[in-house]
């Protein structure tokens, strides 16, 4: 089923929600760094999905929403895509630098824009969108370029995994927009994604022979709870509300803010140095997002 785009542009509510989500996801990078000190990354991603799934199931029971209304097969597809996406992303960090992985992951808005252009009604590529995406992506490259060099075969493997994660993120969103929007609520979209991603992530963790937990502290436990409840439950629920209501290509452009806010969080919380790259990146990303959301000029009649 090809679901129509409900709104052509982003209103103030969407802009504020997206900015808040990107700020939260940027801070989540600090939480992941903390949890990685004691819990293996893919196993932690599985824990995060499990925590979010339980919180969401309780919330849906309180609201008296059926857990499995319909589209169970589509839900399974979404969950598998999500699980494999995060497995690719976390596995990429075993082979390549975090900077390279982040840059390649943020090719996602281009995949979103292309997918929306060909598969979603009313969300076409325009000159403004293309120009804005390129500007924002240049900002991310500027921000994360310090570790980039000629890749080895090992690094190339990691880069390909990160690029696959970007494509899977976009594919998941386009699939949701076509198959689930209009059929189920955004609650069910997240419910399916969390439920079916849990076994995928834990299985991959076993296959790559991670030592699941090698150190625990109260800070690490709080970090995992933050990732599960605040990020994977609350923030993803808000994200899927936006996906159900607004054009995918315009939403996705805002995600370029996430690595910028992540770097800001590291500067503030981990006392990492503030650089000119961060300032220039924020300018380019903000300008790119503004251009993506510009309305094309219409010829006078």
- Report whether pLDDT(74) > 80: yes
Measure Cα distances from 41 to 57, 67, 108, 138, 147 in Å: 24, 29, 21, 28, 21
Q: How far apart are the first and last CA of the chain?
A: 35
Q: Which of 64-68, 169-173, 216-220, 263-267 has the least mean pLDDT? A: 263-267
Highest averaged pLDDT of the listed ranges 98-107, 202-211, 252-261, 286-295? 202-211
| 4 band by pLDDT with thresholds 50, 70 and 90 | very low
Percentage of the chain modeled with pLDDT above 90: 28
Is-contact 198 50, C-beta < 8 A?
Answer: yes
Q: Which of 170-179, 248-257, 279-288 has the lowest mean pLDDT?
A: 279-288
DSSP conformation letters of 9-74:
S--HHHHHHHHHHHHHHHHHHHHHHHHTTTB-HHHHHHHHHHHHHHHHHHHHHHTT--S--S-HHH
Q: Residue 89: its pLDDT value, please?
A: 80
What are the boundaries of each domain within the chain?
12-292
Q: How confident is the model at residue 301, as a pLDDT?
A: 34
In tens, the pLDDT along 245-274 reads 998 888 888 888 887 887 777 677 767 677
pLDDT digits (tens, 9 = 90+) for 110-165: 888 888 888 888 788 888 888 888 887 888 777 766 654 555 777 778 888 888 98
pLDDT for 252 equals 85
In the structure encoding, which two tokens stand for residue 30, read together?
Answer: 């600090």
């Amino acid at each position: 089923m090809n679901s129509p785009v409900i709104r052509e542009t982003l209103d103030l509510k969407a802009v504020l929600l997206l900015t808040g989500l990107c700020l939260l996801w940027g801070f989540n990078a600090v939480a992941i760094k903390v949890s990685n000190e004691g819990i293996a990354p893919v196993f932690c991603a599985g824990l995060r999905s499990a925590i979010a799934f339980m919180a969401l199931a309780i919330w849906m029971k309180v609201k008296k929403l059926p857990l499995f209304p319909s589209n169970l097969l589509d839900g399974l597809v979404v969950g598998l895509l999500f699980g494999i996406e995060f497995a690719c992303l976390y596995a990429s960090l075993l082979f390549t630098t975090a900077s390279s992985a982040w840059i390649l992951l943020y090719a996602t808005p281009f995949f979103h824009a292309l997918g929306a252009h060909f598969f979603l009604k009313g969300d076409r590529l325009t000159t403004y969108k293309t120009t804005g995406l390129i500007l924002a992506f240049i900002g991310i490259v500027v921000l994360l370029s310090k570790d980039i060099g000629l890749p080895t075969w090992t690094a190339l493997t990691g880069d390909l995994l990160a690029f696959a994660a970007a494509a899977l993120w976009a594919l998941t969103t386009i699939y949701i927009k076509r198959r689930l929007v209009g059929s189920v609520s955004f609650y069910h979209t997240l419910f399916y994604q969390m439920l079916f991603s849990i076994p995928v992530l834990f299985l991959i963790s076993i296959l790559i022979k991670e030592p699941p937990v090698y150190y625990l502290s109260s800070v690490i436990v709080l970090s995992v709870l933050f990732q599960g409840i605040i990020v994977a439950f609350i923030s993803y629920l808000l994200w899927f509300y936006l996906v159900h209501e607004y054009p995918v290509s315009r939403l996705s452009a805002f995600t370029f803010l996430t690595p910028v806010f992540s770097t800001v969080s590291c500067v503030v919380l981990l006392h990492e140095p503030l650089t000119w790259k961060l300032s220039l990146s924020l300018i380019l990303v903000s300008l790119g997002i503004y251009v993506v959301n510009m309305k094309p000029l219409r010829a006078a009649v």
